[in-house]
């Protein structure tokens, strides 16, 4: 079943086009990474999905129109918009009490359980917590909500590496199951590579790449080419070529792995390298045509 | 015995079954009002602090001023209750004035602060509608604050009354005059009427306007709240030489005579309650027009909260 389905989704701010006729479909039980440069339209897309902004075109989230039916939708959808949106005056105990009071699907015992694993004190105010602890608190609140869709917009921005690692670990181990869907945007693509089931690149309000991680792994290959094979490799039309420690590394799309193996060391590229390859040359149409 | 307890249990179950439907509608509102009180403790701390200062000052006055009662009684012999009442009215006035200031600043920040610190993104991630959120803030200004003011004023009055009695007894004077001539209950009833008619019903559009400004302004909510009405007054005066808008504002601020505002000669807490004419009050068109405007302003604030991005 589709969790999110958009057709010709469009959003403009004055003359700026933030979303340009986007079609997308996210099935239930997927973890989608929405990757794009600043101002690509990621946050606008998420805001439309969360009913925070009106839009043109068709968009259904869990079968509802997010703008018109936001109040009902928010029982099944939860989001972390930023690392620092928990009200600074609030005490930890008050946050638990409030969410418990207003959310019919909040399991307070579960949230207390998550918090017990941290150093966060119940009587502390949010402003007294470190940024990492605020994230832990927010995550504890959100993971204790039995939501069908969780949206995370740069959830780990500004956190140190330990907290970032822990964030995705708890999300996968303690929260995610096949009935939930997670959509995450981030600049720190390396960290989510092994978390995602689906990948989407977005640029200038358009979807530039859209594939599952299985497709990603079978389609793209990176070869550290032996110097003597460089000309042969270049003949296979790599989508990107770069130099690493004096060796050429070529990135191929839809190339025969056995053929590549003869040229040098073959491995799956990182999302970051593919991102640079796809976004760097600023030719979204060609890449889009190659997808699917 | 058993049957009785059974029926009790059954009816309890019955009410539990009915409750969720009602609860699901009012629970978010209830919790939103509670969270406003968590965030804005000045709503009750400020009036209580002022009440504390008043009681302290009154205590000092009772100790230091010798025989104040008799002297004052000699002053206006014809209306003795005024003598005893004066300090009580001053206390009510100060506490109400504090509540007004708190209310104005609360409303101006209510829908502005959450956008400025982006916590609105957290509130919006929970199943609390924009309508509920705005209503909870209006509830604070129009319901919770007047009730708190009422409770604190009544408590202050009783403390003053007990101190006054104790002071008289300590000097070996009789408390009979005080007890028979100070109409505490009627004073507080008049106060309740004043709060509910003036502060809630009559001033509702003012609070609604402040909430609208706080939902709209990107900065300087205080200026946005007060400068536009002032500009309209000035422009009307310059362009047309008239001052209808100004007199309309004046009417809204000072109230109709029947509202029991502080017009000369009829202090709002006149315990004879001759000015308490709810029938006449309810028949003022301005009351209903004002309430309609308040509803429209609040509806606009709800829409703004829905459309506006956090800053």
Across the interface, of B114, B117, B126, the residue whose CB is closest to A102 is B126
- Contact between B124 and B194 (Cβ < 8 Å): no
If you average pLDDT over residues A59-73, what whole number do you get?
92
Among the residue ranges A54-58, A175-179, A203-207, the one predicted with the least confidence is: A175-179
CA atoms within 13 A on the CB side of A45: 37
Which value does ipTM take for this structure?
A: 0.87
Across the interface, of A74, A87, A142, the residue whose CB is closest to B119 is A87
Across the interface, of B28, B39, B124, the residue whose CB is closest to A89 is B39
- CB contacts < 8 Å between A and B, how many? 69
User: Is the minimum CB–CB distance between B29 and chain A shorter than 8 Å?
Assistant: no
Q: Do B125 and A79 touch (CB under 8 A)?
A: yes
CB atoms within 10 A of CB B306: 20
* Residue B60 included in any domain: yes
Identify all chain B residues contacting A101, using CB atoms and an 8 Å cutoff. 27-28, 30-31, 34
Identify all chain A residues contacting B24, using CB atoms and an 8 Å cutoff. 104
- Chosen for mutation from B33, B110, B118, B122 (greatest number of chain A CBs closer than 10 Å) is B122
Across the interface, of B38, B117, B127, the residue whose CB is closest to A75 is B127
* Residue B69 included in any domain: yes
Task: Give the C-alpha separation, A256 to A276, whole Å.
Answer: 22
Q: Which CATH number fits domain A2-204: 3.20.19.10, 1.25.40.10, 3.20.20.70, 3.40.50.300?
A: 3.40.50.300
User: Is the minimum CB–CB distance between B236 and chain A shorter than 8 Å?
Assistant: no
List, for residues A114-155, the tens digit of each pLDDT value: 999 889 999 999 999 998 899 889 999 999 999 999 999 888
Q: Do A81 and B125 touch (CB under 8 A)?
A: yes
Show which residues on chain A lie within 8 Å of chain B, measured between beta carbons: 50, 52-54, 70-71, 74-75, 78-82, 84-91, 94, 98-99, 101-104, 138, 142
Q: Which residues pair with A9 in a beta bridge?
A: A22
pLDDT in the model for residue B275: 59
Across the interface, of B35, B118, B129, the residue whose CB is closest to A98 is B35
Percent of chain B surpassing pLDDT 90? 46
| pLDDT reading at B151 higher than 80 | yes
Q: Do A87 and B39 touch (CB under 8 A)?
A: yes
- Contact between A78 and A142 (Cβ < 8 Å): yes
pLDDT in the model for residue A10: 92
Q: How does residue B124 score in pLDDT terms, banded at 50, 70 and 90? A: very high
pLDDT in the model for residue A289: 37
Vertex A176 angle, CA A171 and A182, to 5°: 85
DSSP states of chain A: -EEEEEEEEEEEETTEEEEEEEEEEEETT-EEEEE--TTSSHHHHHHHHTTSS--EEEEEETTB-TTTTHHHHTTTEEEE--TT-S-TT-BHHHHHHHHHHH-TTB-HHHHHHHHHTS---TT-BGGGS-HHHHHHHHHHHHHTB--SEEEEESTTTT--HHHHHHHHHHIIIII--TT-EEEEE-S-HHHHTTT-SEEEEEETTEEEEEEEHHHHHHHEEEEEE-GGGHHHHHHT--SEEEEETTEEEEEEES--HHHHHTTEEEEPPPHHHHHHHHHHTT-HHHHHHH--
If you average pLDDT over residues B183-190, what whole number do you get?
83
Identify all chain B residues contacting A69, using CB atoms and an 8 Å cutoff. none
A138 to chain B: closest CA residue: B122
pLDDT in the model for residue A270: 87
> Residues 240 to 259 of B: which have CB under 8 A from any A CB?
none
Task: Give the C-alpha separation, A53 to A11, whole Å.
Answer: 9
Identify all chain B residues contacting A84, using CB atoms and an 8 Å cutoff. 118
- Chosen for mutation from A53, A83, A85 (greatest number of chain B CBs closer than 10 Å) is A85
* Residue B24 included in any domain: no
* Residue B113 included in any domain: yes
List, for residues B1-25, the tens digit of each pLDDT value: 444 444 444 455 455 444 555 556 7
Domains contained in chain B, number: 1
Q: Do A78 and B125 touch (CB under 8 A)?
A: yes
Full domain range(s) for residue B69:
30-307
Percent of chain A surpassing pLDDT 70? 96
Give kind and range of the element (H or E) at residue B11. helix B2-39
Identify all chain A residues contacting B117, using CB atoms and an 8 Å cutoff. 87-88
Identify all chain B residues contacting A125, using CB atoms and an 8 Å cutoff. none
* Residue B17 included in any domain: no
Across the interface, of A54, A81, A90, the residue whose CB is closest to B121 is A81
Nearest to A217 by CA among A288, A290, A268: A268
Across the interface, of A84, A88, A94, the residue whose CB is closest to B38 is A94
Task: Give the C-alpha separation, B257 to B263, whole Å.
Answer: 7
If you average pLDDT over residues B256-269, what whole number do you get?
47
Nearest to B266 by CA among B276, B278, B251, B253: B276
Q: How does residue B276 score in pLDDT terms, banded at 50, 70 and 90? A: low
**Residues carrying CATH 3.40.50.300, chain A:** 2-204
Q: How does residue A182 score in pLDDT terms, banded at 50, 70 and 90? A: very high
* Residue B1 included in any domain: no
pLDDT in the model for residue B264: 34
| pLDDT reading at B105 higher than 80 | yes
| pLDDT reading at A278 higher than 90 | no
- Contact between A20 and A203 (Cβ < 8 Å): no
pLDDT in the model for residue A170: 87
| pLDDT reading at B273 higher than 70 | no
* Residue B8 included in any domain: no
Q: Checking DSSP bridges between strand A31-35 and strand A181-185, what pairing results, if any?
A: parallel
């Amino acid at each position: 079943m589709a969790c999110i389905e958009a057709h010709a989704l469009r959003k403009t701010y004055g003359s700026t086009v933030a979303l340009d006729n986007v079609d997308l479909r996210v099935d239930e039980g997927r973890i989608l990474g929405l990757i794009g440069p600043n101002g690509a339209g990621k946050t606008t897309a998420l805001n439309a999905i969360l009913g925070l902004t009106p839009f043109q075109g068709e968009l259904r989230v869990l079968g509802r129109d997010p703008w018109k039916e936001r109040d009902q939708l928010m029982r099944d959808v939860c989001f972390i918009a930023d690392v620092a949106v928990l009200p600074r005056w609030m005490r930890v105990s008050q946050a638990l009490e409030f969410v418990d009071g207003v959310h019919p699907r909040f399991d307070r015992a579960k949230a207390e359980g998550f918090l017990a694993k941290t150093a966060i004190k119940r009587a502390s105010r949010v402003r007294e917590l470190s940024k990492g602890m605020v994230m832990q608190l927010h995550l504890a609140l959100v993971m204790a909500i039995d939501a069908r869709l969780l949206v995370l917009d740069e959830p780990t921005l500004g956190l140190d590496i330990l907290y970032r690692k822990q964030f995705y670990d708890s999300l996968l181990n303690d929260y995610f199951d096949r009935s939930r869907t997670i959509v995450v945007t981030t600049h720190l693509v390396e960290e989510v590579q092994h978390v995602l089931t689906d990948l989407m690149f977005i640029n200038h309000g358009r979807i530039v790449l859209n594939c599952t991680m299985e497709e990603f792994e079978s389609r793209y290959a990176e070869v550290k080419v032996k110097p003597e094979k460089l000309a042969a490799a270049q003949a296979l039309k790599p989508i990107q070529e770069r130099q690493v420690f004096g060796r050429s590394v070529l990135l191929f799309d839809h190339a025969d792995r056995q053929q590549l193996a003869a040229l040098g060391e073959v491995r799956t590229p990182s999302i970051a390298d593919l991102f640079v390859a796809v976004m760097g040359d600023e030719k979204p149409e060609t890449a889009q045509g190659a997808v699917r | 015995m058993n049957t009785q307890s059974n029926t009790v249990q059954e009816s309890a179950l019955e009410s539990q079954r009915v409750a969720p439907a009602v609860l699901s509608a009012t629970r978010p509102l209830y919790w939103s009002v509670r969270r406003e009180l968590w965030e804005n403790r000045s709503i009750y701390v400020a009036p209580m602090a002022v009440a504390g200062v008043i009681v302290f000052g009154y205590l000092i006055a009772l100790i230091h001023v010798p025989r104040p009662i008799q002297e004052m009684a000699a002053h206006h012999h014809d209306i003795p209750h005024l003598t005893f009442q004066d300090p009580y009215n001053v206390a009510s006035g100060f506490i109400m004035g504090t509540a007004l200031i708190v209310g104005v600043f609360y409303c101006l920040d209510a829908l502005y602060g959450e956008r400025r610190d982006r916590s609105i993104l957290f509130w919006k991630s929970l199943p609390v509608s924009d309508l509920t959120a705005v209503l909870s803030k209006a509830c604070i200004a129009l319901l919770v604050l007047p009730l708190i003011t009422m409770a604190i004023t009544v408590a202050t009055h009783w403390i003053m009354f007990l101190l006054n009695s104790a002071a008289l007894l300590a000097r070996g004077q009789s408390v009979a005059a005080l007890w028979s001539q100070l109409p505490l209950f009627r004073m507080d009833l008049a106060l309740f009427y004043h709060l509910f008619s003036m502060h809630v019903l009559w001033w509702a559009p003012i609070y609604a306007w402040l909430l609208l400004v706080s939902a709209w302004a990107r900065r300087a909510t205080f200026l946005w709240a007060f400068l536009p009405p002032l500009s309209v007054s000035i422009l009307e005066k310059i362009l047309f030489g008239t001052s209808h808008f100004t007199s309309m504002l004046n009417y809204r601020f000072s109230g109709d005579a029947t509202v029991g505002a502080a017009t000369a000669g009829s202090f709002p807490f006149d315990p004879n309650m001759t000015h308490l004419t709810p029938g006449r009050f309810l028949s003022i068109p301005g009351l209903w027009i004002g309430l309609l405007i308040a509803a429209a302003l609040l509806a606009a604030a709800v829409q703004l909260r829905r459309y506006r991005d956090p800053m």
